[in-house]
């Protein structure tokens, strides 16, 4: 009986593997197709908007962490000698959380700055630098004799 189960299990495994590799082969073919580039700089504009939203969230978090540190400092000042160790521990935790939020905010500011630079470069590359004129501004050069 165990031999029959192994045979059935092996057969099923072969079918599953064959179906899986066929799925991978077709998905790889789809991935190889060139995709349409986004219109203009819209993808970069979306990235900048997303980065700005993330910065706003992180700024709010940082402000809450700052308030928590201030509250913990007040609790340490108002604590009795018996409550002092617990209040100091809470202050340390609040300061650690504030430091972590500050680092995350700074990193997001850098991401936003880079996204804005990419967007500016894209917009600068897509906008014509000079307006075309109907008449040439320079006289044509003489053909080179060779």
Average pLDDT, the chain: 78
pLDDT at 43 over 90: yes
Domain tally for the chain?
1
101 and 58 Cβ atoms separated by less than 8 Å: yes
Is the residue at 144 inside a domain? no
Examine residue 20 and state whether it is found in any structural domain, yes or no: no
Average of per-residue pLDDT across 49-60 = 97
Distance, in Å, from the CA atom of 101 to the CA atom of 79, rounded to the nearest integer, reads 26
Residue 50 lies in a domain: yes
Q: Is 98 within the bounds of a domain?
A: yes
Does residue 87 contact residue 74 with C-beta atoms inside 8 Å? no
Is residue 17 in some structural domain? no
pLDDT in tens, 110-131: 999 999 999 999 988 876 656 6
Buried b (16+ CB within 10 A) or exposed e, 99-121: eebeebbeebeebbeebeeebee
Sign of CA dihedral 106, 109, 111, 114: negative
Let me know if residue 141 belongs to a domain: no
Query: Range of 97's domain?
Result: 41-124
Rounded mean pLDDT, 26-45: 63
Higher-pLDDT residue of 60, 9: 60
pLDDT 10s digits, 62-75:
999 999 999 999 99
The domain that holds 116 is classified in CATH as: 1.10.287
Say if 88 falls within a structural domain.
Answer: yes
Extract the tokens encoding 139.
Answer: 């006289």
Interatomic CA distance for residues 105 and 99, integer angstroms: 10
Please, what is the Cα angle at 23 between 20 and 27, to 5 degrees? 140
Please give the pLDDT value at position 105.
97
Indicate whether 33 belongs to any domain.
no
């Amino acid at each position: 009986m165990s031999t029959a189960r192994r045979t059935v299990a092996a057969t099923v495994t072969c079918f599953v593997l064959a179906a899986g590799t066929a799925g991978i082969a077709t998905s790889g073919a789809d991935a190889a197709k060139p995709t349409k580039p986004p219109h203009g700089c819209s993808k970069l504009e979306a990235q900048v908007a997303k980065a700005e939203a993330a910065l706003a969230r992180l700024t709010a978090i940082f402000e809450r962490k700052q308030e928590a540190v201030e509250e913990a400092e007040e609790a340490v000042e108002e604590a009795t000698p018996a409550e002092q160790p617990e209040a100091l521990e809470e202050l340390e935790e609040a300061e650690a959380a504030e430091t972590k939020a500050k680092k995350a905010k700074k990193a997001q500011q850098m991401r936003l700055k880079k996204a804005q630079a990419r967007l500016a470069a894209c917009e600068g590359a897509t906008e014509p630098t000079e307006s075309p004129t109907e008449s040439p501004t320079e006289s044509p050069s003489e053909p080179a004799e060779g």
